[in-house]
A and B are shown apart, each in its own frame.
Chain A
Amino acid sequence: MKRFFHNKNFTVGFVLSLVVVIAAAVSLLWTPYDANRMNARDRLQGPSWQHPLGTDQYGRDTLSRVMTGSVNSIIVGLVTVAIGLTLGVGLGLISAYFGRLADEAIMRFADLLFGFPAVLTAILITSILGPSMVNAMLAIGIFYIPVFARLTRAVAMVVWEREFIAAARACGISELGITWRHVLPNILSPLLIQGTIQFAVAILAEAGLSYLGLGTQPPHASWGRMLNEAQTFMDTNPWMAIFPGLAIAWSVLGFNLLGDGLRDTLDPKMVRVR
Chain B
Amino acid sequence: MPEAPLLQVTGLVKHFPLGGGVLARPHAWVQAVSGVSFAVGRGESFGLVGESGCGKTTVGRMILRLIEPTDGRIEFDGQDILQLSRRQFAGLRRRMQIIFQDPYSSLDPRMTVEQIVTEPLRVDRRAGRRERSTIAVGLLDKVGLRAADLCKFPHEFSGGQRQRIGIARALCARPELIVADEPVSALDVSIQAQVINLLQDLQQEFGLSYIFISHDLSVVEHICSRIAVMYLGSIVELASAGSFSREPRHPYTVALLAAVPLPDPHRQSTAVPLEGDVPNPIDPPSGCPFHPRCRYVFNRCPVEKPPLVPAADGHLVACWLNDGRGVE
Contacts and interface: CB of A to CB of B under 8 A. Distances in A.
Interface in A242-274: none
B93 A172 contact: yes
Given A172-B93, A172-B94, A167 B122 contact: no
B23 to A, nearest CB: 9
B172 to A, nearest CB: 8
Given A104-B22, A171-B120, A172-B120, A163 B100 contact: yes
B169 A167 contact: yes
A166 interface: yes
A171 B106 contact: no
A28 to B, nearest CB: 35
B196 to A, nearest CB: 20
Interface in A94-122: 100-101, 104
Given A166-B100, A177-B122, A172 B90 contact: yes
B181 to A, nearest CB: 9
Nearest to B106: A163
B169 A173 contact: no
Contacts of A163: 100-102, 105-106
Contacts of A172: 90, 93-94, 120, 123, 173
A157 B24 CA distance: 21
A186 B170 CA distance: 22
A181 B123 CA distance: 12
B22 A173 contact: no
Interface stretch (B107-115, B204-212, B312-320): B107-115
B97 interface: yes
Contacts of B97: 170-171
A interface majority secondary structure: helix
Contacts of A182: 108, 110
B77 interface: no
A185 interface: yes
Nearest to A104: B22
Interface residues of B, number: 29
Contacts of B173: 171-172
B interface majority secondary structure: loop
Contacts of A166: 61, 66, 98, 100, 106
Contact of B119 (A101, A162, A173): A173
Contacts of B233: none
Contacts of A162: 105-106
B123 A171 contact: yes
A115 to B, nearest CB: 21
A101 B101 CA distance: 33
Contact of A167 (B22, B93, B98, B123): B98
A164 B108 contact: yes
Contacts of B108: 164, 168, 182, 185-186
Contacts of B96: 170
A169 interface: yes
Contacts of A169: 66
Interface in A152-198: 162-164, 166-173, 177, 181-182, 185-186
A185 B110 contact: yes
Interface string B1-41: 00000000000000000000110000000000000000000
A177 B173 CA distance: 17
A171 B99 CA distance: 11
A173 B107 contact: no
Nearest to A185: B110
A171 B169 contact: yes
Interface in B68-89: none
Given A166-B61, A186-B108, A171 B122 contact: yes
Contacts of A171: 93-94, 97, 119-120, 122-123, 169, 173
Interface in B104-135: 105-111, 119-120, 122-123
A186 B153 CA distance: 14
A189 to B, nearest CB: 10
B123 A170 contact: no
Interface string A18-51: 0000000000000000000000000000000000
Among A100, A167, A170, A186: residue with most chain B CB under 10 A: A170
Interface of A: 100-101, 104, 162-164, 166-173, 177, 181-182, 185-186
Interface of B: 21-22, 61, 64, 66, 90, 93-94, 96-98, 100-102, 105-111, 119-120, 122-123, 166, 169-170, 173
Per CB-CB distance, the 6 closest pairs between chain A and chain B, nearest first, are A163-B106, A185-B110, A163-B105, A171-B120, A172-B123, A164-B108
18 contacts: A162-B106, A163-B102, A163-B105, A164-B106, A166-B66, A166-B106, A168-B108, A170-B66, A171-B94, A171-B122, A171-B123, A171-B169, A172-B90, A172-B94, A173-B119, A182-B108, A182-B110, A185-B111
Given A100-B21, A172-B123, 17 more contacts: A104-B21, A104-B22, A162-B105, A164-B107, A166-B61, A166-B106, A167-B107, A170-B64, A171-B97, A172-B120, A173-B122, A177-B122, A181-B122, A182-B110, A185-B108, A186-B109, A186-B110
